[in-house]
Structure 1
Amino acid sequence: MTDSPNPAVPAGRTSVRAIVGFLVFCELASGFVQGYYAPLLAAIADHLSVTDADITWFLTVQTLAAAVFVPLLSKLGDIFGHRRMLRIAVVAVLIGTLVTALVPNFTVVLIARVLIGPLAVWLPLEIALVHNRISGDSARKAIGMLVSFLTVGAILGTVASGVVSSVSPSLTVTLLVPCAFVLVSVYAVFFKVPESTTRANPHIDVLGFVGLAVAMVALLGGLRLASTEGFASPVTIGALGLAFAVFVAWVIWERRTPAPAVDVRLVASRALGPIYLTAFLFGMVMFGMQAPMTTFLAADPAVTGYGFAATPGLISAVIAVITLLATVGAATFAYLAKRIGIRAVLLIGAVLAGAGNFILAAFHSTLTEVWIASAVMGIGLGLLLGALPALLAELAPSDQTGIAAGVYNSLRTLGGAAAGAVFGLVLALWVAPGGEFAEIGGYVTVWVLCGLAFVGALVALAFLRVPDGRGTPAHAPAADEPAAEASAAV
């Protein structure tokens, strides 16, 4: 590892404010793009003259592309500079959003969605940029802000897509709106964000990246097939078997190569392993529970014996409670960590998130009970959402911050995909013979599984080694920043 300060990088207060201010806007734009398209899927399918089954690939292709781009660009950021890779990522997303809006051809649009895949690597690269310039409590606050504005952006994008589509003269105009946010991000990253100064070993493990990409795509594809075709389907078994075989071979290779794409020993270490395990379990609940919660609320109690026959507005309100409180938790975790320690914050977050699911499993007959459980869960999720990547960035070696954050993001995505398939299977097992709807026991089982996931996270975090209880990170930033200026900028 070498530290070579870039003379073109502005020093002092300018660097701090650029890191915190402009990167926060980039995450707002990232969330906006991620939340904008889902409500428009039916209109996009009609616009492109494809079926509802075909349009599911609109989102799936981006997820598969992200599985490839996140570890690759994160590692290249450690080697060649995180801002340089972030520039490539924002330009790719800009091109992807423009083509999606302007070219009404399904095949071309799917290619454009591949270009939007690097959107998922924005946050890992930004976390690395923050920790290269800012340390301690100020870095935690900055990362909390990044995560919070990502969530705020997703809410804003979801709401904006409905509002804009209702007044827009055409879908093309509607689809151009995200381009404006990404364009401002391009300006920020090219002209206002300083480059990181720490560099990793310049060797690129090409075979390692190829193996990881094949394993990730096969695994995500297999989990998607499991949710539609079932785990017993030959094509599902084949995809998951391929993913397992490639992953085993990849681990063997990574352990033997001197400069691996991903340091698997570090990922499985006692220092970072509990964080990565918690990230996977967290992703299972955060992303996998949304569909069961939606179908439960929408169920007609006169037909199924449970549910509230909820309108889309009521469903959105319940999910908004979880999301908004998660945003608050992510934004404020650093203030709490300063007083009680970041490990205590993580443990409290796991307890609250698990308790919210157990409350929902036991009490779900009234909307008041659902609101209370959602509120408890949302706060817990928010504390984990902010504290996990912040502590990970502190504990990871300074020349591996990008790839460490990239693996964290990938594991959350895998957790959500695995939970989607497993929860779908659980609900299917609770459908009575000849019936159409899952019995309430299926939903209770899902909520218990979510609660147990956080029990597992609690056990993992209990063994987590933190250098000291409260403030100092495991490694210092590559360039000194006055603490008072950093705090003021945050």
Structure 2
Amino acid sequence: MSDTPAQPADAGGTAPGGTGTTDQVEASRANTVVAVLAFAGIVVSLMQTLVIPLVPQLPDLLHASASDATWAVTATLLASAVATPVVGRLGDMYGKRRMLLVSLVMLTAGSVVAALADSLTPMIVGRALQGLSAGVIPLGISIMRDELPAEKLASATAVMSASLGVGGALGLPAAALIADHYDWHVLFWVSAVAGALALVLVSALVAESKVRTGGRFDVVGALGLSAALVCLLLAISKGAAWGWGSGTTLGLFAAAVAVLLVWGAFQLRTPHALVDLRVAARRQVLFTNLASASFGFSMFAMALVLPQLLQLPTATGYGLGKSLLMSGLVMAPQGLVMMATAPLSARISRASGPKVTLILGALIVAGGYLLNTVLMAEVWQLVLVSCVIGAGVGLAYGSMPALVMGAVPVSETAAANSLNTLMRAIGTSVSSAVAGVILAQLTIAFGPVRLPSQNGFRTVMAVGAGAALLAALAASFIPRQRPASAAARGGQDAGAPTAVGAKG
């Protein structure tokens, strides 16, 4: 693709100064950009899933204690949280495609390091490098805003958002299959090859956006936010092991709050802030991010509950006794449903606005969880539940970028999308901790061990449904907007639910 961004079609559907052939060329280029960016998003989410089959075996594989081996997972979480807002801001300043390429280089390099690892330290380094690629999806959405014609933007961003779930759902059975039949290092070599392929495709087929903010990078703000996020997420992820009332855990929570307060005051005073808190406090952005955090919490509950239900012994009376591979195959249709729902999300947003799409998606997810409280005895029932929840996630994820981009300046797109992605990640981390506490408290005796009880799983599902309803409630406070179709006819004003042409 050339370095010139694709020009939007005019109201009559013809590219400026062009013909029907020009329209076809531009449409082909736009489709290529969407496919390449969505593939990059799938590769990143695949990286996060590949390690799941190895988690129980990591202490033996890495010659480390069980508590130390969990750092191979925690390192990715912390690196992702730190990288997402920083890379988004750098993308707005120095080029979104450039930072996307840097992120993919980190993914590929981290995969190679992990593939060569036989001990804990290089594995942690490799997983941390992989985590630094977490900004790929928000960067991809931001590139789409800059490069695509207006009429393609809503469906393209919905597909890009859905790629997160697709990679996760398809990655689990693939990872289980590879882990069962090959040396575990092959998992990371697969990730390295996929990352390298994405890197080549983006380099060859995606143009650099000319939309830049300029200014200086807020190093102090980046360090402050990184410190706060590390303290917060470390306390959340390690709280169960360290003890929720331990001095270390409480100290980290207190440090996170203190650093965030100081960081916020600094951001309001600095002229080139990492995060424009005044923009983030706009009603549309604020409530979209709050809904995203609640939705991230809700979505992850399913990923914790369904695999355990499938793999627990049948002698428990509610476990289905399936293998990890079978569990992955049961979860895989969810990702396909998410991708299939993405165009529907765009159509609903065009007709009624992305606020309606987000609320509808959250209500469907809540319904899926409630359905799961009564349907958990057969494999087909769990497939049905995962597909219902996947449909709701696909609708909601497709609407969030439109809501964020419809309220921020074009020059701050990547930073705003990255903050939204970060909010979802924080919700997911909190969900993992809360579900872990619930399942640790509600148990049954099974021989010499205690396993999560059926009531424990039902409680987690009820909490997931409540979080989805909370997301719908937060979304209800988002300002009402004109549908995207009306906005496009009316000149794409700043209130349009799609972000095309939005002004700060």
Q: Which TM-score bucket, shorter chain as reference?
A: 0.7 to 0.9
Pick one of 179, 194, 204 that aligns with 2:217.
204
Q: Is 1:408 matched up with 2:420?
A: yes
Alignment match of 2:478 (pick from 444, 464, 468): 464
1:30-429 pair list within 5 angstroms: 30-41=44-55, 45-166=59-180, 168=182, 170-300=183-313, 302-303=315-316, 306-362=318-374, 364=376, 370-429=382-441
Deviations 1:304-336 (A, max 9, x none): x54444443553344334333233223431133
Segment drifting more, 364-373 vs 85-94: 364-373
Which residue does the alignment assign to 1:4? none
2:21 equivalent in structure 1: none
Shift of 1:24: 2.4
Please state how far the C-alpha of 1:167 moved relative to its aligned partner: 5.0
Equivalent residues of 2:47, 2:191 under 8 A apart? yes
> What are the Cα deviations for residues 386-441 of structure 1, in whole angstroms up to 9, with x where unaligned?
22123323332211110111111111111111111122222333347998244433
| Structure 1 residue 270, shift from structure 2 partner | 0.9
C-alpha distance 413-191 of structure 1, shift in aligned 2 (>3 A)? same
Matched, 1:452 2:452: no
Deviates more, 1:150-159 or 1:186-195: 150-159
Deviations 1:85-115 (A, max 9, x none): 1121111222111122134343123222222
Percent identity between the aligned chains? 27
CA distance in 2, matches of 1:432, 1:30: 37
CA contact (8 A) 2:170 2:335 kept: no
Give the conservation status (yes or no) of the 8 Å contact 1:227–1:420: no
- Which amino acid counterpart does residue 91 of structure 2 have in structure 1? G
Q: Give distance in 1, aligned partners of 2:356 and 2:141.
A: 22
Match for 1:462: what amino acid? Answer: S
Is 1:476 paired with 2:490? Answer: no
- Provide the residue aligned with 1:29 in structure 2: 43
Contact 1:65 1:118 survives alignment (8 Å): yes
**Structure-2 change in CA distance of 1:26 and 1:371 (3 Å):** closer
* Mapped contact 1:34–1:154 kept (Cα < 8 A): yes
8 Å Cα contact 1:61/1:114 also seen in 2: yes
Distance 2:198 2:378 in 1: 44
Deviates more, 1:242-251 or 1:399-408: 242-251
Higher mean displacement: 267-276 or 118-127: 267-276
Task: State the AA in 2 paired with 1:102.
Answer: L
CA distance in 2, matches of 1:61, 1:103: 15
Equivalent residues of 2:170, 2:332 under 8 A apart: no
Backbone CA RMSD of aligned residues: 2.8
| Segment of structure 1 superposing worse, 429-438 or 452-461 | 429-438
Cα 1:152–1:296, aligned 2, differ >3 Å: closer, same or farther?
Answer: closer
**Structure 1 unaligned spans of 5+:** 1-6, 479-490
Task: Classify the secondary structure of the residue corresponding to 1:271.
Answer: helix
TM-score (norm 1): 0.87
For residues 152-176 of structure 1, give each alpha carbon's deviation from its aligned partner in whole angstroms, at most 9, with x where no partner exists: 33344333334444554x4445532
Asked if the contact 1:68/1:216 (under 8 Å) is kept, the reply is: yes
Shift of 1:145: 2.1
Task: Indicate the structure whose relative CO is greater, using CA pairs within 8 Å and at least 6 residues apart.
Answer: 1
Structure 1 range deviating more: 461-470 or 369-378: 369-378
Once residues 368 and 190 of structure 1 are traced to their aligned partners in structure 2, the CA distance between those partners, rounded to angstroms, is: 42
> Which amino acid in 1 is paired with 2:500?
A
Which amino acid is the alignment partner of residue 230 of structure 1?
Answer: G
TM-score, with normalisation over the residues of structure 2? 0.85
Decide whether the 8 Å contact of 1:431 with 1:438 is kept in 2: yes
Is this contact kept in 2: 1:137–1:334, CA < 8 A? no
Contact 1:45 / 1:51 at 8 angstroms: preserved in 2? yes
